Structure 1
Amino acid sequence: MSTPTKALSDAGVSIWLDDLSRARIESGNLAELIATRDVVGVTTNPTIFQGAIGNTADHSYDERIAALSARGADVDEAIFELTTEDVRDAADLFRPVYDATAGVDGRVSIEVSPDLAHDTDATVAEAKKLWAKVDRPNTLIKIPATKAGLPAITAVLAEGISVNVTLIFSLERYAAVIDAYLAGIEQAQANGHDVSGIHSVASFFVSRVDTEIDKRLTAIGTEDALALKSKAGVANARLAYELFEQKFADARATALTDAGANVQRPLWASTGVKDPNLPDTLYVTELVAPGTVNTMPEKTLEATFDHGVVTGDTVTGNYADAHAVFDGLAAVGIDLVDATQLLEDEGVEKFIASWHDLQGTVTAALQSAPEGAR
Structure 2
Amino acid sequence: MSENLKRLVDAGVSIWLDDISRERLRSGNLAALIRDKAVTGVTSNPTIFANALSKGDAYAVQLRDLAVRGVSVDEAVRAITTFDIRWAADVLKPVYDATGGVDGRVSIEVDPRLARKTEPTISEARALWWMVDRPNVHIKIPATVEGLPAITQALSEGISVNVTLIFSLERYRAVMDAWLSGLEKAKANGHNLAGIESVASFFVSRVDTEIDARLEKIGTPEALALKGQAGVANARLAFAAFEEVMNSPRWQALRTAGARPQRPLWASTGVKNPDYPDTLYVDQLVTAGIVNTMPEKTLDVTADHGKISGDTIRPFYEQAWNVMAALKDAGIDYDDVVRVLEDEGVEKFETSWKELLETVDAELRKA
TM-score category by the smaller chain?
A: over 0.9
Aligned pair count reads: 367
Residue in 2 that maps onto 1:341:
339
Residue in 1 that maps onto 2:121:
123
Corresponding letter in the other structure for 1:28? G
Residue in 2 that maps onto 1:164:
162
**Aligned residue runs from structure 1 range 39-78, under 5 A:** 39-55=39-55, 58-78=56-76
1:297 matched to 2:303? The reply is no
Post-superposition offset of 1:34:
0.4
Q: Would you say the 8 A contact 2:141–2:151 is kept in 1?
A: yes
**Aligned residue runs from structure 1 range 171-210, under 5 A:** 171-210=169-208
Residue in 1 that maps onto 2:94:
96
Superimposed CA distance per residue, residues 251-298 of structure 1 (whole angstroms, 9 cap, x where no aligned partner): 111110111101100000000000000000000000001100000001
Q: Would you say the 8 A contact 2:118–2:146 is kept in 1?
A: yes
Normalised by the length of structure 1, the TM-score is 0.97
Partner of 1:266, secondary structure, is: strand
Q: List gaps (5 residues or longer) in structure 1.
A: 370-374
**Aligned residue runs from structure 1 range 95-114, under 5 A:** 95-114=93-112
Residue in 2 that maps onto 1:360:
358
Residue in 2 that maps onto 1:253:
251
Residue in 1 that maps onto 2:220:
222
Residue in 2 that maps onto 1:307:
305
1:24 matched to 2:24? The reply is yes
How many Å separate the matches in 2 of 1:49 and 1:259? 38
Post-superposition offset of 1:224:
1.0
Corresponding letter in the other structure for 1:60? A
Residue in 1 that maps onto 2:11:
11
Pairwise CA RMSD = 0.6
Q: Percent identity?
A: 62
Partner of 2:131, secondary structure, is: helix
How many Å separate the matches in 2 of 1:333 and 1:311? 33
Partner of 1:306, secondary structure, is: helix
Normalised by the length of structure 2, the TM-score is 0.99
Superimposed CA distance per residue, residues 111-147 of structure 1 (whole angstroms, 9 cap, x where no aligned partner): 0000000010000000000000100000000000000
Corresponding letter in the other structure for 2:173? A
Corresponding letter in the other structure for 1:23? E
Post-superposition offset of 1:175:
0.2
Partner of 1:109, secondary structure, is: strand
Q: Would you say the 8 A contact 2:212–2:227 is kept in 1?
A: yes
Q: Would you say the 8 A contact 2:155–2:179 is kept in 1?
A: yes
Residue in 2 that maps onto 1:270:
268
Corresponding letter in the other structure for 1:27? S
Corresponding letter in the other structure for 2:240? E
Residue in 1 that maps onto 2:36:
36
Runs of 4+ in 1 over 3 A off after TM superposition: none
How many Å separate the matches in 1 of 2:25 and 2:207? 32
Partner of 1:16, secondary structure, is: strand
Q: Would you say the 8 A contact 2:2–2:37 is kept in 1?
A: no
How many Å separate the matches in 2 of 1:67 and 1:258? 49
Q: List gaps (5 residues or longer) in structure 2.
A: none
Corresponding letter in the other structure for 1:294? N
Superimposed CA distance per residue, residues 225-251 of structure 1 (whole angstroms, 9 cap, x where no aligned partner): 111110000000000000000012101
Residue in 2 that maps onto 1:238:
236
How many Å separate the matches in 2 of 1:66 and 1:144? 32
Superimposed CA distance per residue, residues 155-198 of structure 1 (whole angstroms, 9 cap, x where no aligned partner): 00000000000000000000000000000000000000001110
How many Å separate the matches in 1 of 2:350 and 2:34? 30
Q: Would you say the 8 A contact 2:2–2:303 is kept in 1?
A: no
How many Å separate the matches in 1 of 2:305 and 2:324? 30
Partner of 1:277, secondary structure, is: coil
Residue in 2 that maps onto 1:330:
328
Superimposed CA distance per residue, residues 55-107 of structure 1 (whole angstroms, 9 cap, x where no aligned partner): 2xx10100000001111111000000000000000000000000000111000
Partner of 2:291, secondary structure, is: strand
How many Å separate the matches in 2 of 1:218 and 1:82? 43
Superimposed CA distance per residue, residues 312-350 of structure 1 (whole angstroms, 9 cap, x where no aligned partner): 110000000000001101111110000001000000000
How many Å separate the matches in 2 of 1:104 and 1:79? 28
Partner of 1:9, secondary structure, is: helix
Residue in 2 that maps onto 1:316:
314
